[in-house]
C-alpha cells in the first residue's frame, strides 16, 4: 500500500476536516494528518517540510481569502520541485471546475464531497 509522510486537509470547513481526518486515519496511509482552514496556512507549513517528504494534499477549491485555484498557482510558483499528490476535494459538480483542474499537471484527481473510503481507495489505485 502506498504511504505518505503526511496528509494535508485544506478546507475552510472544520467539520469536513474532522470527518475526513478520521476517515483517512482508518486507511493507514499516513500517521500524520494535518488540517488547514486556509491555503495560506498550508503553504506556510510546506516551507517547513522537507522537499523529499511524500505528501498527499486534499484541496477544496471554494475557500475565502485564498481559493483552491490560487493555492495551486502559488504552489507551482514556490514548490514545483516537490512530488506531492494534490487531489481536489470539492462540493462542486460543475464540469468547468473538473476541466480547469485537469489543466494543472500537479492535480492527481478530482473528488466530490463527501469523502468516502471507496473514493480514497479508488484514488490511491490511480497513484
Helix 117-126 and helix 14-27: axis angle, to 10°? 60
Counting the structural domains of the chain, the total is 1
> Is the confidence at residue 1, as pLDDT, over 80?
no
Burial of 97 (0-12, 13-18, 19+ CB in 10 A): middle
- Residue 15, domain member (yes or no): no
- Residue 119, domain member (yes or no): yes
CATH at 98: 3.40.50.2300
Q: Which residue range(s) make up the domain with 65?
A: 34-126
Predicted confidence at residue 127, as pLDDT, reads 86
The pLDDT mean for the chain works out to 96
> Is the confidence at residue 8, as pLDDT, over 80?
yes
What pTM, to 2 d.p., does this model score? 0.96
- Residue 13, domain member (yes or no): no
> Is the confidence at residue 109, as pLDDT, over 80?
yes
Amino acid at each position: 500500500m502506498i504511504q505518505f509522510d503526511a496528509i494535508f486537509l485544506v478546507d475552510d470547513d472544520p467539520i469536513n476536516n474532522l470527518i475526513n481526518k478520521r476517515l483517512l486515519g482508518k486507511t493507514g496511509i499516513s500517521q500524520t494528518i494535518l488540517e488547514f482552514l486556509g491555503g495560506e496556512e498550508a503553504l506556510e507549513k510546506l516551507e517547513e517540510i522537507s522537499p523529499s517528504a511524500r505528501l498527499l494534499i486534499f484541496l477544496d477549491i471554494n475557500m475565502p481569502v485564498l481559493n483552491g485555484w490560487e493555492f495551486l498557482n502559488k504552489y507551482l510558483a514556490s514548490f514545483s520541485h516537490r512530488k506531492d499528490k494534490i487531489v481536489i476535494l470539492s462540493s462542486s459538480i460543475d464540469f468547468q471546475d473538473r476541466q480547469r483542474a485537469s489543466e494543472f499537471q500537479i492535480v492527481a484527481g478530482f473528488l466530490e464531497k463527501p469523502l468516502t473510503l471507496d473514493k480514497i481507495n479508488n484514488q490511491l489505485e490511480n497513484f
